[in-house]
Structure 1
Amino acid sequence: MRIFGWAADNGGCGYYRVKLPLDTLRSLGHETLTATVMPDEWQETADVIVGQRVCNPGPTSRWQKLAREGSAKLVFEVDDDLLNVHHSNRAGHAFFKQPEIRQNLTDNITVADLVTVTNEHLAERVSAFNPNVAILPNYIPAAMLDLPTPPEAERLTVGWAGSATHRMDWEEAAEPIAKFMVKGAAKHLDMHFIGDLHEHWFDFRPWDKLGGRIRRSPWVQRIPDYHAALDFHIGLAPLKPHVFNLSKSPIKALEYAARGIPVIASDFGPYAAFVQDGETGVLVRERAGWAAALWELSRADGPRRQMSKAAQELARAHTIEGNAWRWERALSV
């Protein structure tokens, strides 16, 4: 097949939902190209066009024209419930609440030959506009499994990576985590935040007491470099119980697992379905659970090392190389 991936961005979403699967399909003999701008040549000759959350006016006009012409199979790719963006994501909420954008989204989903999503909840949401839906979970490149597990050290690193869109999720966990980190029991723990997390988001702010124990790194643009930058011994994945988060994927926990990093995650939505509680990580059901899990995994005689190995084994079943056939089957014309 000749497949064009019309990515919405060059970040994580564009990588996992378009570039990574199409690059893998190319290794299987298909002709593929991923870009944020569609070349005229590919518009005219592609067998399949994968459009990621197409909703701006110009791209929408082009998408609707392609639908009328019917020369290529149109696959609308979406990995978030964009009609229910939480207000804490100010830019995203403001953008996707615009009537024209919302109408474009639903119109473009409706005329697609297929819609691809990450989980059953999102499939149910978009099926109201188009019954032809394929669930294609997020996968990681197998090369991640070859990266070294963060080495053991006297001082352990507790970490999180992500964008400012996770503000509502951190508001669920910031206070209990911060309270634990300033206690004497956590004096051997450092924190590493990668991305756009800012302590001033939180109403409870003892973070300054950590002094040199807290490290911040800017977002890493190249995804393989980001994978290599995950140097945590314990990974954090808070998630607020909200309808928007029901459509999220467990990609953060999967990334951690591929590096052999046990995760402490909210017992909600995608993490509840992915994390094997007590084996590959810990699921937190109440606020006090964050401190309890940090204490358990940071103890010298705790289960962290065993969880590290089990997490990597779980990740081995979630590589794109082992699951590219799912994308190939869904995109076949």
Structure 2
Amino acid sequence: MKVLVVTTKHAASSYYRVREPARAVSELPLGAEVVVVGGLATTMSRTPGPDGPVVVDIDDQGADVVVFQLPKTAELVQMVSILQARGVGVVVEMDDLLTAVPAGMPGHRRLVMGGMGERALECARLADHVTVSTPALLTAYAAHGRGTVVPNAVPRRVAELPPAYLREPGTATIGWAGSVHGHPYDLPEVGSGLQQALNAAPSRFVVLGEAGDAGQKLGLTHAPAEIRWLPDVDSYLRALGEEFDLGIAPLRIDRFNTAKSWLKVLEYAARGVYAVRSPSAEYERLGLGWRARAAKDWAKGLTKGLLEPEWRTAQARAAREVVLDRHLTEHTAASWVAAWERAAEHRGGVLRRSAVAVG
């Protein structure tokens, strides 16, 4: 079976939902040839339709199945139908609830107000199969019953890097990986908890990404240090374990975040970083990290981690072992292949039924 995967330009989504799964599948005897591309060559009609350009042909490169990651344009809706008409199974891969991006977050205007999120739903409704990272996304995108949850996982090479808890003791660093601009509503969930912990023991706070007004949102006495985004995901993951001893993963509990995956806490765990996190549905399902519902919980979890380094190490070590045992890309590879096979089977069944009806 040849599978052609059309990936997004977003580095993290492409890494976790396409490139690393494709690598894992290729390294195992699962009967799938996976080709990852940034786009497909198309032929457009010389006479655009009322809503703009119309796709009339696509180069599917001889694939049995084509996977579209985060499709959200009218042209992609057209491409799904063209491929299916010629017998190619189509999979739609989604790892965010695009119709629920809150106002104030980047992308809200295009995805919600501009209708791109609705185009994604339309592509998913047409698809022979849908793959998602969480059960909430399965409910949203696969109401037709043709869907599979393939949880986010990390490559073994990342989980086997020297973990944070093996570093030489020094001033403990609490870190957050993210961009305040991209996640304006999450850090306030910590309340005064982080500052209480910083007051309780010698420590520092660092943002790996874009700090913006993180200090203000967290009510800190001093602005945090900032390590700017690194050029690729592997470099970022390496830095997590080299810079953080403790990590925070706050999420405002809303529709968008409830559908999000457990990825940040999984990354912390893979790199041996002790995590304190919000009680989101997926963080709870993963079951790793210290649950924090209010400022006092953030303060207690962080302070205990700072004042009891041996306990912190034991927690981080145990979480990393869970990742190595259950949450590597090699553990999910067969699920990806099974989903692609279901798409091919469904498309074949549709064509057989159509042929019988015509005959």
Instruction: Provide the C-alpha distance between the structure 2 equivalents of 1:172 and 1:301, rounded to a whole number of angstroms.
Output: 25
> Is structure 2 residue 346 aligned with structure 1 residue 323?
no
* Residue of structure 1 equivalent to 2:161: 147
C-alpha RMSD of matched pairs (Å):
2.1
Gap regions ≥5 residues in structure 1: none
Residue 201 of structure 1 deviates from its aligned partner by 7.8
Mean CA deviation greater in 3-12 or 22-31: 22-31
How is 1:1-333 mapped onto 2 (pairs within 5 angstroms)? 1-28=1-28, 30-39=32-41, 43-67=60-84, 69-89=85-105, 91-128=106-143, 130-150=144-164, 151-163=167-179, 164-173=181-190, 175-181=192-198, 183=199, 185-186=200-201, 188-199=202-213, 202-203=216-217, 205-207=219-221, 209=222, 214-230=224-240, 231-276=243-288, 281-300=289-308, 303-316=311-324, 317-332=326-341, 333=344
Cα-to-partner distance string for 1:216-269 (whole Å, 9 max, x where unaligned): 112123111111111211111001111111111111111111111111001222
Residue 283 of structure 1 deviates from its aligned partner by 0.6
Residue 132 of structure 1 deviates from its aligned partner by 0.6
Cα-to-partner distance string for 1:65-124 (whole Å, 9 max, x where unaligned): 223x243210001011111111131x2211111354244222211110001111212111
Cα-to-partner distance string for 1:18-45 (whole Å, 9 max, x where unaligned): 1111121122353222232125796141
1:77 maps to amino acid: E
Instruction: Provide the C-alpha distance between the structure 2 equivalents of 1:98 and 1:143, rounded to a whole number of angstroms.
Output: 41
Instruction: Provide the C-alpha distance between the structure 2 equivalents of 1:178 and 1:38, rounded to a whole number of angstroms.
Output: 50
Cα distance 1:27–1:61, how it changes in 2: closer, same or farther (>3 A)? same
Does the CA-based 8 Å contact 2:187-2:218 persist in structure 1? no
Cα distance 1:174–1:88, how it changes in 2: closer, same or farther (>3 A)? farther
Instruction: Provide the C-alpha distance between the structure 2 equivalents of 1:81 and 1:107, rounded to a whole number of angstroms.
Output: 13
Cα distance 1:46–1:131, how it changes in 2: closer, same or farther (>3 A)? same
Cα distance 1:105–1:301, how it changes in 2: closer, same or farther (>3 A)? closer
Does the CA-based 8 Å contact 2:76-2:123 persist in structure 1? no
Does the CA-based 8 Å contact 1:7-1:18 persist in structure 2? yes
Mean CA deviation greater in 105-114 or 160-169: 160-169
Cα distance 1:147–1:203, how it changes in 2: closer, same or farther (>3 A)? closer
Cα distance 1:299–1:114, how it changes in 2: closer, same or farther (>3 A)? same
Instruction: Provide the C-alpha distance between the structure 2 equivalents of 1:201 and 1:64, rounded to a whole number of angstroms.
Output: 49
Does the CA-based 8 Å contact 2:188-2:218 persist in structure 1? no
Instruction: Provide the C-alpha distance between the structure 2 equivalents of 1:309 and 1:180, rounded to a whole number of angstroms.
Output: 22
Cα-to-partner distance string for 1:172-208 (whole Å, 9 max, x where unaligned): 1154323542x2x23x21222111232268456434x
Scaled by the length of structure 1, the TM-score of the pair is 0.89
Instruction: Provide the C-alpha distance between the structure 1 equivalents of 2:331 and 2:142, rounded to a whole number of angstroms.
Output: 27
Larger radius of gyration: 2
Cα distance 1:206–1:328, how it changes in 2: closer, same or farther (>3 A)? same
Cα distance 1:260–1:21, how it changes in 2: closer, same or farther (>3 A)? same
1:35 maps to amino acid: V
